[in-house]
Amino acid sequence: MRHIFEQGRDPKAPTLVLFHGTGGTEHDLLPLAGIISPESSVLGLRGNVLENGMQRFFRRLSEGVFDEDDLIARTKEVGDFLDQAAGQYDFDRENAVAVGYSNGANIACSLLFHYPKVLRGAILHHPMVPRRGIELPDMTAMPIFIGAGSNDPICSTKETEELGQLLREAGASVSVHWEHYGHQLTPSEAQAASVWFREQGWL
């Protein structure tokens, strides 16, 4: 996968794995990573799917309707890539925290839905429920931050609440931060993610 890796100053800080939104690149969330944990190593990924020239992490059939087979295959591809990158860049595979926005939050969430202990935690900006009707892996005490919009036209409040509930039922410790700016990732939402990150005692 195309990616960028930047070595952080604090080897104990979690490595942040960045997943951009539709039409983004591996560079998009670098400023956000700097707000959340400036001392962390950063691995920014670029989605392998092209939709009308826009990069994504998996195919969709229409807005909000995912191609489930592709989602499953791409989720495995990302998981395998994380294993490989941890060897290549010598970061602690068990100390990786995802930061994703929109389509990127959805693939990061799909990783959590399919593989146990694939991440130490996750910051999901405007995620949706990636799949329904499957049994989730044990996520006991896994910290997850969800940034959501009470007027998000792509992800309804009902879907955000459903996602929070599914993750909690799997044992995760979920914090939902609500804003009222639609699907946007605002500076105040980034700030809330940064405060939450500090509260986890990872640094």
Binding residues for ligand MLT, per CB under 6 A?
21-22, 60, 63-64, 102-103, 106, 128, 154
Nearer to ligand MLT, 66 or 197 (CB): 66
The answer to whether residue 183 is catalytic is: yes
Q: How far is CA 157 from CA 30, 146, 153, 183, in A?
A: 28, 12, 10, 11
Helix (H) or strand (E) holding 78: helix 68-89
Q: How far is the CB of 116 from ligand MLT (least distance, A)?
A: 23
- Which of 41, 102, 110, 194 does the annotation list as catalytic? 102
- Give just the sign of the alpha carbon dihedral 152, 153, 154, 156: positive
Nearer to ligand MLT, 64 or 187 (CB): 64
Q: How far is the CB of 23 from ligand MLT (least distance, A)?
A: 8
The answer to whether residue 138 is catalytic is: no
Question: Tokens representing 198?
Answer: 């500090």
CB 136 within 8 A of CB 163: no
Q: How far is the CB of 89 from ligand MLT (least distance, A)?
A: 27
The answer to whether residue 152 is catalytic is: yes
What's the angle, vertex CA 71, arms to CA 140 and CA 109, rounded to 5? 30
Nearer to ligand MLT, 6 or 70 (CB): 70
Active site residues: 102, 152, 183
